[in-house]
Amino acid sequence: PDGEYRFELKIFSGSSEFDLSKSDEKIETIIVETPSGVNLESPGGALADTAFNVVYSTFPSFNWNKGYCSNCETFIRVAEYRNYFHSSPEEALRDERVLPFDQSREWLQLEDVSTFQYPVIGVRPLEYGKTYVWQIMVKVPTTDGMEDEVSEIYTFKVSDPSFSAKLSNIDPLLLQIKEAIGQQKYSELFEKGGPLEGFAPTGIFSIDGSKADLSSTINALLRIKNKKSKTQNIKVVNN
């Protein structure tokens, strides 16, 4: 069981069994603790909460807790998550990793640490506006050899800090549209040079040619975002 154990080894010597005295002694204390698993701390969280798990640096620090783990080996892997291509974070990590850069390796081995800053060299750089997933694996020594303990997968988004200051000025409906159609399409339509640059909602909405209120419009956008409805094409109509 878990606990602190004290071992004492005493050696007695003498000319006969009736003339013994202690000639050497060694005391060793060891701590036995069952690993409690690897718990990720930051950055990120569940895939569904990516909008709230944002970092503003392309060199984020990854933090986790692996408990007391003596002589363990620690590994990390990071991959870009593309919601239009990957069906799950697991698939993204199996597909193509930004860390390690060498795709023949599934994991990058670290020192015996619980924090790691994304490197400047030797990796694929993280990019603003993209979503990433990461995971930690710890190899724990046991009496049967090394045993793998793999963490859950955390998801986070890298946001441009200069852009974050502008978010409070964006109409909430435009944010819903952005979430529904994705950053790339939103940029093409609503940002600099796009046909809807400077557009502001008028409060007049229609769905499939029928007049709709704001609540119905937002619900329609949420269905698209959650992939319960599909967009066949997007076009700008000038009235």
Q: What is the CATH number of the domain that holds 111?
A: 2.60.40
Does residue 119 fall inside a structural domain?
Answer: yes
Residue 80: what pLDDT?
96
Of 155, 99, 157, 156, whose CA–CA distance to 128 is shortest?
157
Q: Are residues 8 and 49 in the same domain?
A: no
Q: Which range (5-9, 97-101, 133-137) has the least confidence? A: 5-9
Q: Where residue 126 falls among pLDDT bands split at 50, 70, 90?
A: very high
Q: Are residues 148 and 202 in the same domain?
A: no
Q: In total, how many domains does the chain have? A: 3
135-145 as b/e, with b when 16 or more CB fall inside 10 Å?
Answer: bbbbbbeeeee
Pairing state between β 154-158 and 54-55: parallel
Q: Are residues 102 and 197 in the same domain?
A: no
Q: Does residue 128 register a pLDDT over 60?
A: yes
Q: Are residues 133 and 191 in the same domain?
A: no
Q: Are residues 58 and 123 in the same domain?
A: yes
Tokens of 130: 């993209």
Q: Are residues 111 and 201 in the same domain?
A: no
Of 54, 63, 41, 45, whose CA–CA distance to 154 is shortest?
45
Q: What is the mean pLDDT of residues 103-110?
A: 93
Tokens of 171: 């109409």
Q: Are residues 104 and 124 in the same domain?
A: yes
Q: What is the largest CA-CA distance in the chain?
A: 112
Does residue 50 fall inside a structural domain?
Answer: yes
Q: Are residues 114 and 68 in the same domain?
A: yes
Residue 181: what pLDDT?
83
Does residue 26 fall inside a structural domain?
Answer: yes
Q: Are residues 121 and 22 in the same domain?
A: no
Does residue 153 fall inside a structural domain?
Answer: yes
Structural domain span for residue 21? 3-32
How far CA 138 is from CA of 1, 64, 153, 222, in Å, comes to 21, 11, 14, 39
Does residue 238 fall inside a structural domain?
Answer: no
Q: Are residues 28 and 83 in the same domain?
A: no
Domain boundary residue among 125, 158, 191? 158
Q: Are residues 54 and 144 in the same domain?
A: yes
Residue 153: what pLDDT?
95
**What share of the chain has pLDDT > 90, as a percent?**
29
Q: Are residues 71 and 179 in the same domain?
A: no
Does residue 61 fall inside a structural domain?
Answer: yes
